[in-house]
Structure 1
Amino acid sequence: MNSNIIKTGIIALGAALITSCGNSQQGGGQQAAPPPMPVTTYTVEKAAVTVPDNYPGVVVPLQEVELRGEVGGYITGIFVKDGQKVSKGQRLYEIDRTNYQAAFNSAKANLEVAKANLARTEKDAERYTNLAKKEAIAQQRVDYALTDLANAKSQVAAAQASLTSAEANYRKSVIVSPLNGTIGISQVKLGALVTPGSTLLNTVSTNDPIAVDIAVNQRDLSRFMEMQKNPSTTVSDSIFSIEQNGNRYSMNGKIEAIDRAVDPSTGTITVRISFPNPNGTLVAGMTCNVTVLNKSPEPQLVIPHKAVSEQLGKYSVYVVGDSSKVNQQIVEVGSEVGGMIVIKGGLQEGDVIVSDGIMKLRPGAVVQPAKATDSTTTTTPNN
C-alpha cells in the first residue's frame, strides 16, 4: 500500500516537473516586439529650384591690341615701363624720325611750289581770256593758258597727296597707345630694327572690366541667349560669379558675347562673360571656375540631402508606409541645392520619408515620427 502511494507521488511529481519545464521553454521562445524607432519625417514636395552650374573658364581681356610698327627703322625711344598702365594716345615707342622728317619737309615745300605755279597760271588764264574777248590775242594762246592751269591744279593735288603720305609716315614713327589699359613686356630694345607690319613691339590690353570665356553645351545655348537679352536681370540676380584658386569674388557678371558657331568636335559654344576688375585681381590667361545659376523652368521634387543614403553607387531613401513601417526605395538624384537635393525618379509628391535617423533603420522597421515641434526645419530652395 505504502509502495503504491510512493509510486503515485513520484509520477505526479514527474508530471509537474515536465509541465513546469514545458511552460518555461514555451515562455522563453517568445520575444517581445522592439519599440518603434523615433525618427524625423519629411513630406516630399515640389519647389522652384535654382541649381548652380559650374564651368571651367579662362580669363581674357575684352580688348587687346598688338603693337607693330607701320614704318621701318631703328627704335630711338621707349617711353614706358613694362607692365605700366597706359592711356589712349600716350607715346610708347619712337622709330628714327630723321628720314620721315626730311620727307615731310620736302613734300611741304613741293606743295608750296605747286601752289605758287597754280596762282601764276590762274592769272595768265584770266588775262588771256579777257584779251580773247577783245579779239586782241589768238584763241590758241588762251587754250594753252587753260591747259597750263589744269596741269597746275593737278600738280597741287599730287603735292598735297605726297604731303599727306609723308605726314602720316612721320606721325607713325611714334607709336601711341590705342586704348586705356596695361602694356606688357617690351619685345624690342633701343636700337632694334623694326620691319613694317612684322616686328611685334608689345601688347596693350584692357583689364577693367575683364572677361572669362566658358564652353557651354549646345543644348543650353537658348538659356544663355535668353540671359543675354536681359542683362539687368542677370546682374541683379548675381547669376554669374567667379572662383579662382579657391577664392570666390563678390562680383556680378554679364554675358558680353556668344560665339557665332558651335564647335562640331565638342558640341560646345564659347560664351564670354565680363566682370568688373577694379583691383586688377583677375589677369588675362588665368584659369577659373564660373558659377551660373540655373533656374528650373518647372517645379521639381526636393528632399533633404541627409535623407539619402548611398551604397555601391546607388541612392536610396526610407519611405514610411502602412502601420508606420519603412521600406527602402531606390531613387535617382539630381543636383544639390544647399541642404536639399533634387529627386528625378523613385518618389512622388506627397510621399513621406525619413529625413533624420536613417542610420539605425532597417527595411520593415516600425518608426515613430517626431512631433512637428521636434522636427528639423528644412529650407526649400526657391528662385
Structure 2
Amino acid sequence: MNRVILNTIFISCLIVTACKKKQPPVNPEVPVNLMTLKAKRVLYFDKYPSTTQALSQVNLLPQVTGSITGIFFKEGTHVEKGQKLYEIDQRLYQAAYDQAVANLRVSQGTLVQSQQDADRYEYLNKYNAVAKQLYDHAVITLENAKATVKASEQQVKTAKTNLAYSVVYAPFTGTIGFSQVKLGDVVTPGTTILNTISTDSPMAVDFIINEKNLPFFEKLQINKVNVDSLFTILLPDNSLYPYNGKISVIDRAVDSQTGSIRVRLVFDNPKGILRVGMSCVVRVHNQETTPVLVLPSKAVVEQMGEYFVFTAKDSVVTVSKDSLAKNPKADVSGKPRLFAHQKKVQVGQTIGPNVIVKSGVNEGEKIITDGVQTLHDGAPVTTANKVAPTQGGKH
C-alpha cells in the first residue's frame, strides 16, 4: 500500500515538473536574406539540342559485277570530286568494248558496200538495165546496213559505259568513310555498298523547336537579321564552335503528334571540326531588348512541376488577450513584422546562377533568396540574423 502511494506521488511530481518546462516560442521567426526585384536588360541564349548533318550524303554502289582490283584512297579522309576511289576487274568489260568496236567496224564496212551496190543499181534502174527486183533488194540491204551500224554504235556505247563503271569516282568533294569491301571482294550492282561519302563544308545542324516559336524563326529567316553571334553551337566537349551559322531551311510541316518542327542551320566547316552525327547545342542569341525580371535560381522552389517564390511583406500583428495569456512574451509593440508569402511564378531562360521570371511577381517586391528551405506561406521571417548564402539552383 505504501509503495502504491509513493509511486503515485512520484508520477505526480514528474507531471508537475513537465508542465513547468519552458514552452517553445510560438511561430519563431526564420532568418532569411532578401533582395529587391528589379528589371534589367540581360544577354542570354536560347539553347536547343541539335545534330550535325551533311548537306549531301550518298552510298557508293557498284554499277557492274566483278572483283575489287584497286582501292585508291585513305579511309576517313577528304576526297575531291572526280577522284578515283575503286577499280573493279576491267578485263571482261575491256574485251566486250573491243568486240563492240570491231563489230561496229564490220557494220560500217557492210554499209559502205551496200551503199555502193544501191548506187549502182539506182543508176542501172534509170535506164531499165536491171531487174526491178534486184534494185529493190539493194535498197532494202542498204537500209538494213544503216540499222546495223546504229545497233553496233549502241553496243559500243553500252560496252564503253560498263567499262567506265568499272572505275568508281567521287561524285562530289567531301569526306569518305570506312570501306565496306576489300581487295578481291566480288561486288554486285544495287546490293553491295562500297562506301559512304558526305559533304563536309558547309555542314548542316538540325534542331527541333516548338510550333509556338515558329513565327520568331520565320522572321529571322525572312528578314535576314544580321546580329553578331545570332546562331552559335556548343560542341560535345562544351567548347564554342568558332564559326557562326545562318538559317538554311525550316521544315515544310509541323509534327501533329509533338507540335514541333525541324529547323536547319548551316555552318562553314573549313577545318573539318564538325562531323556528321555529332550532338551539339544550338544557341540562339536573345533578340529581346526589353528589361526583364531576374532572380537567383536558388530563390525558386519547384513543387510538382510548378514554380514558386517567397516574398516578404511587412504586417502589424495584433495580439489578443487570450494569446497574451498563453504567451506573455508575445510582441505587443505594434511594430510591423515580416511575413513570407508564397507566389506561383512562370520561369523562363536560365542564365548562369539566375533565372528569368516571366510572371507572378512585380518589380520592387522583396524576394527571399536564402532560407527558403524551412519556409511556408505566412511564416514570420527576419533579416536580423544574416543567413549564409546557399549554393545551387532550384530547390
TM-score by length of 1: 0.72
Structure 2 residue aligned with 1:52: 45
Number of corresponding residues: 323
The answer to whether the aligner puts 1:344 opposite 2:358 as a matched pair is yes
Paired residues for 1:13-92 under 5 Å: 44=39, 52-92=45-85
CA offsets per residue over residues 230-283 of structure 1, 9 Å max, x none?
4x4367552343332221212211223333443344333332222122222222
Structure 2 residue aligned with 1:369: none
Structure 2 residue aligned with 1:241: 233
Structure 1 residue aligned with 2:132: 139
Once the two structures are TM-superposed, the CA of residue 114 in structure 1 deviates from its matched residue by 1.2
The answer to whether the aligner puts 1:293 opposite 2:285 as a matched pair is yes
The answer to whether the aligner puts 1:303 opposite 2:297 as a matched pair is no
The answer to whether the aligner puts 1:227 opposite 2:220 as a matched pair is yes
CA offsets per residue over residues 311-365 of structure 1, 9 Å max, x none?
45512445799x99988662523224578754332345xx43458x965999798
CA distance in 2: counterparts of 1:344 and 1:218, whole angstroms? 20
CA distance in 2: counterparts of 1:225 and 1:252, whole angstroms? 18
TM-score by length of 2: 0.70
Write the letter of the residue equivalent to 2:231: I
After TM superposition, the runs of 4+ consecutive aligned structure 1 residues lying more than 6 A away are 323-327, 360-366
Once the two structures are TM-superposed, the CA of residue 173 in structure 1 deviates from its matched residue by 0.4
User: Identity of aligned pairs, percent?
Assistant: 38
Counterpart of 2:240 in 1: which secondary structure?
Answer: strand
Structure 1 residue aligned with 2:194: 201
Structure 2 residue aligned with 1:315: 309
Q: Which of 262, 266, 269 is 1:274 aligned to? A: 266
Once the two structures are TM-superposed, the CA of residue 128 in structure 1 deviates from its matched residue by 2.2
Paired residues for 1:337-376 under 5 Å: 341-348=355-362, 351-354=363-366
CA distance in 1: counterparts of 2:266 and 2:229, whole angstroms? 15
Structure 1 residue aligned with 2:101: 108
Against the structure 1 CA distance between its residues 265 and 165, is the aligned structure 2 distance closer, same or farther, given a 3 Å change threshold?
same
Structure 2 residue aligned with 1:154: 147
Q: What RMSD over aligned residues (CA atoms) do the two structures have, in Å? A: 3.6
CA distance in 2: counterparts of 1:364 and 1:175, whole angstroms? 79
Once the two structures are TM-superposed, the CA of residue 135 in structure 1 deviates from its matched residue by 3.0
Against the structure 1 CA distance between its residues 325 and 43, is the aligned structure 2 distance closer, same or farther, given a 3 Å change threshold?
farther
> Do 2:39 and 2:294's aligned partners in 1 also have CA atoms closer than 8 Å?
no
CA distance in 2: counterparts of 1:40 and 1:75, whole angstroms? 74
Write the letter of the residue equivalent to 1:206: T
Once the two structures are TM-superposed, the CA of residue 129 in structure 1 deviates from its matched residue by 2.1
Structure 1 residue aligned with 2:246: 254
> Do 1:302 and 1:340's aligned partners in 2 also have CA atoms closer than 8 Å?
no
Against the structure 1 CA distance between its residues 71 and 43, is the aligned structure 2 distance closer, same or farther, given a 3 Å change threshold?
closer
CA distance in 2: counterparts of 1:63 and 1:320, whole angstroms? 65
> Do 1:56 and 1:289's aligned partners in 2 also have CA atoms closer than 8 Å?
yes
The answer to whether the aligner puts 1:335 opposite 2:349 as a matched pair is yes
Write the letter of the residue equivalent to 1:219: K
Against the structure 1 CA distance between its residues 117 and 303, is the aligned structure 2 distance closer, same or farther, given a 3 Å change threshold?
same
CA offsets per residue over residues 47-86 of structure 1, 9 Å max, x none?
7x77522221222222212112110111111111222221
Counterpart of 1:117 in 2: which secondary structure?
Answer: helix
Structure 1 residue aligned with 2:326: none
Structure 2 residue aligned with 1:129: 122
Write the letter of the residue equivalent to 2:182: K
Write the letter of the residue equivalent to 1:255: I
- More divergent stretch after superposition (201-210 vs 336-345): 336-345
Once the two structures are TM-superposed, the CA of residue 125 in structure 1 deviates from its matched residue by 2.1
CA distance in 1: counterparts of 2:98 and 2:297, whole angstroms? 86
Counterpart of 2:205 in 1: which secondary structure?
Answer: strand
Structure 2 residue aligned with 1:218: 211
Once the two structures are TM-superposed, the CA of residue 40 in structure 1 deviates from its matched residue by 7.6
> Do 2:295 and 2:357's aligned partners in 1 also have CA atoms closer than 8 Å?
no
CA distance in 1: counterparts of 2:167 and 2:299, whole angstroms? 70
Query: Tell me, which stretches of 5 or more residues in structure 2 are unaligned?
Result: 1-32, 316-334, 373-378, 384-395
> Do 2:59 and 2:193's aligned partners in 1 also have CA atoms closer than 8 Å?
yes
